[in-house]
Structure 1
Amino acid sequence: MSTNEPGAQNPYDPPSGGNEPGPPPGQPGGPPPEQPGGATHQPRAPMPPSGAPQSGQPQQQPASYASGGVPPSAHPAPGMQYPGQPYPKNSLGVWSLVLGILSWFLCPIIASIAAIVTGHMSRRATREGLADNGGLGLAGIILGWASLILSVVGIIIFVVAFGAAMNDPAFREFLNDPTAWPSLDSDY
C-alpha cells in the first residue's frame, strides 16, 4: 500500500538512512551464519580434484555466485517469463479482438484482415509462451473471418443485383424519363 502524503515512505523502496541492514548472514559481504551454541560457521574451500596439490588459498566461485547472482538453474526456460512479469505480447490478442469487433461496423474488409493477422500472431505468441491470452486472439480470428465472409457475400449480392437492374428494360425506362422520378416539391 502506498500513501500520497508528502514524506511518506513507500514500502517497496529500500530503506533510507544510516541504519540500512547489510546482507543477510551467509551471503557474500554479510556476517557468517551462526551455529547452535554461538559458534559461527566458516565456509570451507571446495576440495581440489584428487591428485592436485592442496594450497591454502580457497578456490574462487563463478562470478555469478560470488557477486550474489542467481544460479543458472533458477533462470526460466527460453520463452518463459519470471513470475510476476507481464507477458510482452498480450496486446496482440486485445488488438485482434478490438479489430474483429470494429470490422462489423467500420472498414469491414481492412479491419477483418487486420484482426485475422493479429489473431494468428497472438496464438503463435501463446504457443511460444510469450502471451497468455490466446482466447482473445481466437475470438478476433473468428470475428474477422465472419465479417470478411459476410462482406464479400454482400458485395457479390450488390454486384449481381445492380447488374440485373441495369439489364431490366423497366428500370432503364425509369432512368431515362425524369418526369417519372419523385420530386420533393410535390404535394402528396
Structure 2
Amino acid sequence: MSTNEPGAQNPYDPPSGGNEPDPSRGRPGGSPPPEDTGGATHRQGSSPSPGPEQPSPYASGGVPSSAYPPPAPGMQYPGQPYPKNGLGVWSLVLGILSFFLCPIIASIAAIVTGHMSRRAAREGQADNGGLGLAGLILGWASLILSVAAIIIFVVAFGAAMNDPAFQDFLNDPSSWSTMNSDY
C-alpha cells in the first residue's frame, strides 16, 4: 500500500532521528559497542601498530580503487566499450560476402579491415581480434580463389582460341545453325 500523505515517512528512507546510528542496534542483547582504544588494537604477544589505523579500502563496499591498475596508454578501464570493435565485424562480413558478391573488391576490403582490426586489438582499442583474423583469412582465401579462377579462364580461353577445331568452327558460320537446331 502506498501512502502519499504529507508527513508520512517512506519505509525505505533512513530514520529521521540524529545522524548517529544506534550503537546497540544489530548487537545481540543490545550490548554496547566495544571500548574505543584510540585506533590501535592489541593482541597478546604482539606489538602495537605504529601510528593511526589505516581505513580499509573495502570500507565503502565493493572493490577498492587500487584493485585495478591504471590502464596502459591506448587501453581503457574494465567495463568500458571498445571503440573499434566494428572493424572486426566488418572484416568478417566482407570476407563472407567476397565469396558471393564482387569477389576482388570485397576480398581487398576484408583484408584491409582485418589488418586494421588486428592492429586495434594489439593496441588495446578493440577486443575482437579473432573476428578480424577470420575476415582476414576469408578475404585472402577469396582473393586467391578469384585470381586462380581468372587465370584458369584466361588459359582455357587462350587454348580454345588456338585450337584448330575451334578456329574452323568460328570460320564456318554454316555450322552455327546446327547448334541451334537441336533445341
For normalisation by structure 1, the TM-score amounts to 0.58
Q: Which residue is equivalent to 1:130?
A: 125
Judged with a 3 Å threshold, the aligned counterparts in structure 2 of structure 1 residues 175 and 119 are, in CA distance, closer, same or farther, namely same
Cα distance in 1, alignment partners of residues 123 and 142 from structure 2? 28
Counterpart amino acid of residue 77 in structure 1: A
Cα distance in 2, alignment partners of residues 75 and 121 from structure 1? 25
Cα distance in 1, alignment partners of residues 81 and 166 from structure 2? 62
Does residue 103 of structure 2 align to residue 117 of structure 1? no
- Listed one character per residue, the Cα deviations across residues 59-93 of structure 1 (whole Å, up to 9, x for unaligned) are xxxxxxxxxxx99x975332222333210000000
- How many equivalent residue pairs? 123
Q: Which residue is equivalent to 1:3?
A: none
Cα distance in 1, alignment partners of residues 103 and 166 from structure 2? 30
Does residue 141 of structure 2 align to residue 146 of structure 1? yes
Aligned-pair identity in percent equals 80
Cα distance in 2, alignment partners of residues 94 and 78 from structure 1? 24
- Listed one character per residue, the Cα deviations across residues 3-42 of structure 1 (whole Å, up to 9, x for unaligned) are xxxxxxxxxxxxxxxxxxxxxxxxxxxxxx96997xxxxx
Does residue 77 of structure 2 align to residue 82 of structure 1? yes
Cα distance in 2, alignment partners of residues 99 and 82 from structure 1? 30
Q: In terms of mean alpha carbon deviation, does 176-185 or 90-99 score higher?
A: 176-185
Q: Which residue is equivalent to 1:159?
A: 154
Cα distance in 2, alignment partners of residues 95 and 187 from structure 1? 49
Superposed counterparts of 1:14-163, under 5 Å: 75-163=70-158
RMSD between aligned alpha carbons?
2.7
Cα distance in 1, alignment partners of residues 127 and 108 from structure 2? 23
Q: Whose Rg is larger?
A: 2
Counterpart amino acid of residue 129 in structure 1: G
Cα distance in 1, alignment partners of residues 163 and 182 from structure 2? 30
Cα distance in 1, alignment partners of residues 96 and 138 from structure 2? 7
